[in-house]
Chain A
Amino acid sequence: MAAVTQDSYKTGFLPTWCPGCGDYGIWTALKDALAKLGIGPDDAILVYGIGCHGNMYDWMRTYAFEGLHGRALPVAQGAKLANHKLPVICVCGDGDCLGEGGNHFIHAAKRNPNITVLIHDNQVYGLTTGQASPTATQGFKTKSTPEGVVDEPLNPLTLALTSGATFVARGFAGDIPGLSQIIADAVSHKGFSVVDILQPCVTFDKVHTYAWYRTRLYQLARDGYTPDNKLKAIEKAMEWEDKIPTGILYKEDKPTSEDREPALARSPLLELPLGVPDLPALLSEFK
């Protein structure tokens, strides 16, 4: 088998994202991480939401499920339970995963399936031309909030941490090598891994630009931070405005959703025999 490289994922179609979109950085980092891990086009399933981020599958050749807005996580969990040897990665948007799919996100974190979620966090609904997303900063003027967003933003990291995610990290679309490493670590983690990826929307957000982020971001690892304490992680996750941390905030080993299913102890559901092993015993319960 040929070695897996970034070229392995070519579909022959070119991206339709706006020039300068943060999605390019995420896409490149994802390809780099998967290639590094040796996960080729036939080796995993990527489950996408609907939004600018979701269009990525068009130029990313892997088994893919481009489902409904907000519903990537349930699809991913079903696929994982059916074949838990298969790497399952969700490529989601902030509106997709935290707005329409917020309930799914909380409950997925609580179950700890061995799935990676990459949240494209750009504070706007880009594909519908720029309305505020659940992570939009208070006061941010968008097409749906001409006077500025009135609500407080939702924090994907504290939500993930308090809901039970066992790997929580923040990346930046403008730092491809750093993001690639975080994604590789997230995919390698056994459990529900969430990567919130800060991403400028160059078309509908003139405030949170690459420069805006670059002057504020700092790397946790360089500060001697160790991701082993949930309360500390929540504190870090709440830093915003002047100093915004990136890197792995929290990581712990816990049984996964699949570990808790007795049927999966033997082999993936997909490989288990069909039908009823002991029919007379089953029917005797109804006599």
Chain B
Amino acid sequence: MRESVTLKIGGEAGFGIMSSGTMLARAFSRAGYHVFATNEYPSLIRGGHNLITVRIATAPFAALNRDVHILVALNKETVEMHKSELGRGAVVIYDTKEGSLDGGLPIPLTDIVRTHNGEQVMRNTVALGACVAILGVDFEVLGSVIRDQFARKGDEVVNNNLAIAQAGYDHAKKLNGNLEAMKLAPAQKKSDQLVINGSEAVGVGAVRAGLKFAAIYPMTPINSLITFLADHAGALNLVYKQPEDEISGINMAIGASVAGVRSMVATSGGGFALMVEGLSLAGMIEAPLVIDMGMRVGPATGMPTWTEQGELRFIIHAGHGEFARIVLAPSDALEAYQLTIDAFNLADRYQVPVFVLTDKYLNESLWCVPESSFSGEVTIDRGKLVKREELPPDDSFKRYQFIEDGVSPRSLPGMPHGQYFANSYEHDETGHVTEVAEKRAAMAKKRLSKLASIQKDIMPPVVLGPQSADITFVTWGTSKGPVLEAIAGKSANVIHFPWLYPFPTEATRALLGNAKRVIDVEQNGTGQLASLIRQHTGIEIKEKILKFDGRPFYPDEIWRQ
């Protein structure tokens, strides 16, 4: 009996790899297990090698392990590419049509599909049935997911898929006399779980926070946020608009924000490069705006479907001129949900752009989260948005009034007596252009004073693991999980930074000042967080574990180095 199993399903793009992994993860989540799934694929639609890795365990976990226990090879290439990862006693499920394989478990995937008059793509359904049998759980665990997955296509499709999966299940059951070792220990009954990817978690956070308008140009890895918003636009009272480019996207979102609704954009590094001009505009006219920046491998087009943390410095410094901004960086789907809600409130409270800095691994992986953590009360704080009746009838309202915390009350176009100019030129308190030295300096100072005001909301870095330890790892974003998994049972802890800018200087200094040995772990080539820490605290972290090959860390890489 196993407490944890890792499966990989591989084949060509177009084989339904991602949906197989999703169904498997959902099935075991429903059965009470903890699951996680992540995909690897090249930037194309047909052919190439696609892979999904699914880990299923009886207890919560923070990362994937390297060893593979079940490999579903929908083509020969998959076996070649992944045989070195197979753990002792691993099972390789392959199509008998492909020949024979030493130690493999041949299943007549193609024959079963043909017998049921199914399409070639349904081979993965046979394989899913076989996986469930090998893991020793009831067929119904998979059956319920198949019914939901195909419900929209009608009873005939549902029943055909059920029959095909059952045939795979029965076949594996007959053969698996010696596979007792792969059986999963029973799951502990627990509360309902969601299986959700990082982009969808951002989406749920956004709509719960009152998102009304999103303009997002398609780009990996934030495309499933588009799908989520577009699918639900009518029911959730919002508009998703596909702009002609990212320049238009950010300007549309700013226009919607000035007109009074919560708005956002999402993109990756290349798309954000086009938005930089608009970011500066948002800073100048003090428009609340949320930007979901999903990092992937750069520079330029880079490796579009692979993960990296190369854009922290870019985000902090982007934009001509100086203005305040906030950068949040979730490490998993739950934090992506929570920080997205925070992002909308912070954007309104300080009238600044707020980044939710995500990455491909977070956005496209499926995470397992208790439903209750997505359904609690959400506070919506629209900040200093004036009400109609608060505007002075003598037209003396000043949108950019000098005020101690730098955040002036905001009127909305159409409100009587609230007229102002949202002006990209330097301006006075009414928004009227000015180039007078004292007025320019005062207005620039007002905008920058927000950096000090924001201090009271800064989320300090979080210590995970023992408070005192021999080794302290410093991470941000999705590097947290593998490090957390690696330190289990060791005298080590992790400092995780959910909030990166304005930098939490004092809290960081206090935490690192007490640490015995500090190691920086990041998925980039220059140690951007380490440099930020040095810039703000003067503390130099000499030891770094950096990875920038497009793949997330495995826990064993943390100790090996």
A contact set with B: CB distance below 8 Å: 11, 13, 41-45, 47, 50, 55, 57-58, 61-68, 71, 73-83, 85-86, 103-104, 106-107, 261-264, 266, 269-270, 272-280, 282-283, 286-287
Residues from chain B with Cβ under 8 Å of A44 in the complex: 413-414
Known: A263-B233, A264-B239. A74 touches B260 (CB 8 A): no
CB–CB B259/A262 < 8 A: no
Residues from chain A with Cβ under 8 Å of B253 in the complex: 78
CB–CB A75/B251 < 8 A: yes
B contact set with A: CB distance below 8 Å: 26, 29-30, 192-196, 200, 204, 207-210, 212-213, 215, 232-239, 241, 243-245, 247-249, 251-263, 277-278, 281, 285, 371, 374-375, 378, 380, 412-425, 431-433
In the complex, which of the residues A50, A75, A80, A282 contacts B232, with contact meaning CB atoms closer than 8 Å? A282
Residues from chain A with Cβ under 8 Å of B375 in the complex: 279-280, 283
Please name the residue on chain A nearest to B391 by beta carbon.
A42
CB–CB B255/A79 < 8 A: yes
Besides A65-B421, A74-B251, 5 other A-B contacts (C-beta < 8 A) = A74-B243, A103-B244, A103-B245, A104-B244, A261-B239
Q: Smallest Cβ distance from A212 to chain B, in angstroms?
A: 33
Q: Smallest Cβ distance from A244 to chain B, in angstroms?
A: 31
CA of A45 to CA of B416, assembled, Å: 12
Please name the residue on chain A nearest to B375 by beta carbon.
A279
CB–CB A262/B247 < 8 A: no
CA of A104 to CA of B278, assembled, Å: 14
Residues from chain A with Cβ under 8 Å of B215 in the complex: 74, 78
CB–CB A81/B213 < 8 A: yes
CB–CB B255/A75 < 8 A: yes
Q: Smallest Cβ distance from A252 to chain B, in angstroms?
A: 22
Please name the residue on chain A nearest to B194 by beta carbon.
A286
CA of A112 to CA of B481, assembled, Å: 47
CB–CB B419/A63 < 8 A: yes
CB–CB B414/A63 < 8 A: yes
CB–CB B233/A261 < 8 A: yes
In the complex, which of the residues A64, A107, A275 contacts B380, with contact meaning CB atoms closer than 8 Å? A275
CA of A282 to CA of B235, assembled, Å: 10
Residues from chain B with Cβ under 8 Å of A279 in the complex: 208, 375
Residues from chain A with Cβ under 8 Å of B237 in the complex: 263, 266, 269, 272-273, 277
CB–CB A103/B235 < 8 A: no
CB–CB A86/B247 < 8 A: no
CA of A79 to CA of B415, assembled, Å: 14
CA of A275 to CA of B380, assembled, Å: 9
Q: Smallest Cβ distance from A109 to chain B, in angstroms?
A: 11
Residues from chain B with Cβ under 8 Å of A278 in the complex: 235
Residues from chain A with Cβ under 8 Å of B277 in the complex: 68, 71
CB–CB A276/B244 < 8 A: no
CB–CB B371/A287 < 8 A: yes
Please name the residue on chain B nearest to A278 by beta carbon.
B235
CA of A55 to CA of B423, assembled, Å: 11
Residues from chain B with Cβ under 8 Å of A42 in the complex: 414-419
CA of A73 to CA of B248, assembled, Å: 8
Residues from chain B with Cβ under 8 Å of A64 in the complex: 420-423, 431
CB–CB B260/A66 < 8 A: no
Residues from chain B with Cβ under 8 Å of A78 in the complex: 213, 215, 241, 251-257, 259, 263
Residues from chain B with Cβ under 8 Å of A57 in the complex: 421, 423
Q: Smallest Cβ distance from A205 to chain B, in angstroms?
A: 25
CA of A81 to CA of B207, assembled, Å: 17
Known: A13-B432, A50-B424, A269-B237. A81 touches B210 (CB 8 A): no
CB–CB A287/B261 < 8 A: no
Q: Smallest Cβ distance from B60 to chain A, in angstroms?
A: 18
Known: A79-B256, A81-B241, A82-B212. A270 touches B261 (CB 8 A): yes
CA of A68 to CA of B209, assembled, Å: 29
Residues from chain B with Cβ under 8 Å of A280 in the complex: 375
Q: Smallest Cβ distance from A235 to chain B, in angstroms?
A: 28
Q: Smallest Cβ distance from B310 to chain A, in angstroms?
A: 27
Known: A45-B259, A66-B425, A277-B236. A71 touches B241 (CB 8 A): no
CA of A269 to CA of B245, assembled, Å: 23
CB–CB A82/B248 < 8 A: no
CA of A287 to CA of B245, assembled, Å: 34
CA of A80 to CA of B213, assembled, Å: 11
CA of A44 to CA of B422, assembled, Å: 13
Write 16 A-B pairs (CB below 8 A) sorted by A numbering. A58-B432, A63-B413, A66-B425, A67-B254, A68-B278, A73-B248, A74-B255, A75-B254, A78-B255, A83-B260, A86-B414, A263-B236, A269-B212, A270-B260, A275-B380, A287-B29
A-B pairs with lowest CB-CB distance, top 6: A78-B255, A274-B210, A262-B234, A74-B251, A78-B252, A82-B259
CB–CB B235/A277 < 8 A: yes
Residues from chain A with Cβ under 8 Å of B248 in the complex: 71, 73-74, 103-104, 107
Please name the residue on chain B nearest to A280 by beta carbon.
B375
Residues from chain A with Cβ under 8 Å of B194 in the complex: 283, 286-287
